[in-house]
Structure 1
């Protein structure tokens, strides 16, 4: 039993490292986005480079979505260990291709997009494997343990963000140095994971056949409510996180990536309290409460015009989104355990697909707004760095953040409806239980 516990603990920390690397890579992409845009995309089409970098960044989420969808149902057949090793390989190849993009001539946009898809494959493979593994290994405390695991997502964002500032602001290093650094922990993950045996998932332990696992979400219409909700949850948390450097750096007087670092620090601390909060309020109750500060925080970010106002807005937003993603995973795993890794993977797929569509739209909104504020393409092209450019970019940031602030408002009503339906099904329950399937 002690040996089994020790192995469970080791597997947990391997999963932590895998998720940390995925987050670190996300933070590096966000931190280097402005420099990559300026060096690689502005010379091609400065008027529409915001949409172009949004599309490039969004392709990492496309890779995330594809690998989640393909790998999740096959996790136990392929083996979690092989999937983690595949993730490590993608975390090496993805940044390596980004480094080659600068010297690829006319193929720079194509190579950047391919690189981001492969990089995203690693992230998707990570989520497809570690979430079901931890849900199975810690079946008695899913919400708390999955939130504790996902606390290391913001930890990776913090390290990546701080290194972005260090490399670009203090050491004045090129963006390629930061991207190349992502390869180092990926090698460590490959070596560590190769030495250990991973457990099978919860559905396999329960004897659920592959066919039954695949059919379970389609037998349960309520599952697709959570699938749709996850689309909106990801748009409230991950899309703004990937957008802060591009949109805020020129409008609040500080690096946008530092705002992301600050938000991530709050999330790292708060996620360790998720288990107790979910027990007290139920997972739906917790998610319902999160939507209010999420909406207010995003709107406040649209109005931020100084470091102080940006940090205040980020604080409110962080308290809103910190529990959303892992609590959604735990909620579905608890309500639909027979869906196993496939159910959790479908939920992650919904989140990734959302960002793939949302980020380019944010970029397009940003571009339209900056051209509108400047008075057209020609007027924008003639602008120089200074107060007028600052005003134009501030307006563009305001419009992009206000567009996404609507999503948590929608979630408030959806979570409220789910909470009421489940509460009614429980009859005279006191409201503190975790929840039942719709």
Structure 2
């Protein structure tokens, strides 16, 4: 079992100093395992859809089941991790990782996949809740450097799992089993690893003082994110849906919970929070949206030019992960020269430039713009963690992990809404300019409202009708009807098309394959070759408009890292006025008392 260093010894001294390399490798392997599980679930999703007859909605639910437990567990574990201990928490993460993989490999239906994904999310959040404060405490003089190198484990996992899965033909069960490689490695290393006592605990900082660092405002932000995510998971309606600011509040019970918890937090801590930390929480939402929100868009833009090079489009993401992995290992001299805020400012500028040129580039030149963007976002996440560890050590695991949780939850709650609004308004304008008749036919008639403004969106039922008819035609053309009905891929297409085109709202009755197939035939979903040519033109128009819209939105997304750069520059100037940036050393403060 993982051991804990004796209390009273400063992090990095005694037994911890002798064994911290083992500790670091164990934490690195745990993050690699988390990354393996993330990318493998994504790459297995299509196979699961065919094998288990999943609808698109169910695919989204399974993916989401691996995300929301992460945001919850990383924050909640941070509140109690010093009581539970790093070692016991990592044993819990190991058990969740192993059980998740077993459930996925032996899955019988949707619920096995869903349960396995929840366990995977819990494992990921627990790993992050442990490794960040553990490494910050083990390397008190090199927090930013070692946290950044540690987080090279995320892109490393994407690369080492992604390349063989993309290039080697294997069953999805074998793909999932690959997760056991890093899981077993970090499990064995845990037997030898000695975790440090938290820097906060060693310095004698009380629990109340820890909570006072983020304060009531920090509590409000994080609890709001958690309640909004739970509101989504339980499919509850927001407080209002009228385009006002209250649309951003969850259902009444969760809104009351936010108010009560925040007031109780303030009554206990008597602190509103550190202004710089509150600023970093807000900036983290922009950061996460910039880093995570548009990865799939970049891949979509690169499909055609990558195809011209004879390469699968998915390799672009692997290429960008290689950039991140290599550069994160090289953080030492960069951080010494620029300090954390200088690194973040430079990255924000590069990301803004890369996104702007992605909105203008075409063909293979998109690869150059994507490279600049990839370099720009390389240090965002880990250096922000390093900055929090250096400036808010009194907050211990809480200030370190709450910023990660805020980013992960914020990109889904706020960032995705903003990106969606920009995308919808761009599609509306571009489709109207390209083809007025198609615009009138394919856009939803009713104008919608959001906190970002009024907009019109594509009629998703009509969009699904186009893609479903083409997919069914491609599968049915020239095929033997008897053999076709036994094809799992065709059965999945029929099931999805039935849900999109025939099933009415509120209808949850299970239908037989024959009944769904007949209903689609009656609805005119099985088109002729002449009809296919007409429908294909609509699909080509939509593909062009949506792709060009994503390219245009990239230019608007560039404003997010530009705002981040302005915030970082403001902090740099602030510290210059105070004599320069310095990390806070709790042990030095303790010795000076």
For Structure 1 versus Structure 2, the TM-score category normalised by the shorter chain is 0.7 to 0.9
- 1:184-203 to 2 correspondences below 5 Å: 184-203=181-200
- CA drift of 1:141 comes to 1.2
Give CA deviations for 1:60-107 in whole Å, capped at 9, x if unaligned. Answer: 221110110111121221111111121122222223333455x32xxx
2:292 is matched with 238
State how far apart, in whole Å, the 2-side matches of 1:55 and 1:267 are.
29
1:10 is matched with 22
State how far apart, in whole Å, the 1-side matches of 2:296 and 2:63 are.
8
Contact 1:61 1:356 in 2 (8 A): no
- CA drift of 1:19 comes to 0.9
Contact 1:236 1:407 in 2 (8 A): yes
- After TM superposition, the score normalised by the length of structure 1 is 0.82
Q: Identify if the C-alpha distance between structure 1 residues 17 and 358 changes in structure 2 by more than 3 Å, giving closer, same or farther.
A: farther
Equivalent of 1:28 in 23, 37, 40: 40
Contact 2:16 2:138 in 1 (8 A): no
- CA drift of 1:58 comes to 3.4
1:174 is matched with 171
- CA drift of 1:289 comes to 2.0
Give CA deviations for 1:311-332 in whole Å, capped at 9, x if unaligned. Answer: 3333122111000000100111
Q: Identify if the C-alpha distance between structure 1 residues 360 and 281 changes in structure 2 by more than 3 Å, giving closer, same or farther.
A: closer
State how far apart, in whole Å, the 2-side matches of 1:10 and 1:230 are.
31
State how far apart, in whole Å, the 1-side matches of 2:23 and 2:210 are.
24
1:346 aligns with 2:402: yes
1:427 is matched with 577
State how far apart, in whole Å, the 1-side matches of 2:282 and 2:545 are.
31
Equivalent of 1:74 in 70, 73, 80: 80
Contact 1:283 1:327 in 2 (8 A): yes
2:249 is matched with none
Give CA deviations for 1:7-30 in whole Å, capped at 9, x if unaligned. Answer: 011101111101111112222233
- CA drift of 1:408 comes to 4.7
Aligned residues: 418
1:336 is matched with 392
Contact 1:244 1:257 in 2 (8 A): no
Give CA deviations for 1:125-180 in whole Å, capped at 9, x if unaligned. Answer: 1111111111111111111111111112111111111022123xxx2x23332123
Gaps in structure 2 of 5+ consecutive residues:
1-12, 216-272, 432-441, 443-457, 475-532, 585-593
Equivalent of 2:371 in 315, 323, 333: 315
State how far apart, in whole Å, the 1-side matches of 2:354 and 2:186 are.
35
SS at match of 1:200: coil
1:56 aligns with 2:62: yes
- CA drift of 1:335 comes to 1.3
1:143 is matched with 144
Gaps in structure 1 of 5+ consecutive residues:
none
Q: Identify if the C-alpha distance between structure 1 residues 363 and 82 changes in structure 2 by more than 3 Å, giving closer, same or farther.
A: farther
- CA drift of 1:281 comes to 2.6
1:214 is matched with 211
2:91 is matched with 85
Contact 1:295 1:409 in 2 (8 A): yes
- After TM superposition, the score normalised by the length of structure 2 is 0.62
Q: Identify if the C-alpha distance between structure 1 residues 415 and 245 changes in structure 2 by more than 3 Å, giving closer, same or farther.
A: closer
State how far apart, in whole Å, the 2-side matches of 1:113 and 1:402 are.
36
State how far apart, in whole Å, the 1-side matches of 2:128 and 2:469 are.
45
Q: Identify if the C-alpha distance between structure 1 residues 235 and 188 changes in structure 2 by more than 3 Å, giving closer, same or farther.
A: same
Q: Identify if the C-alpha distance between structure 1 residues 244 and 33 changes in structure 2 by more than 3 Å, giving closer, same or farther.
A: farther
2:561 is matched with 411
Contact 1:144 1:276 in 2 (8 A): no
1:224 is matched with 278
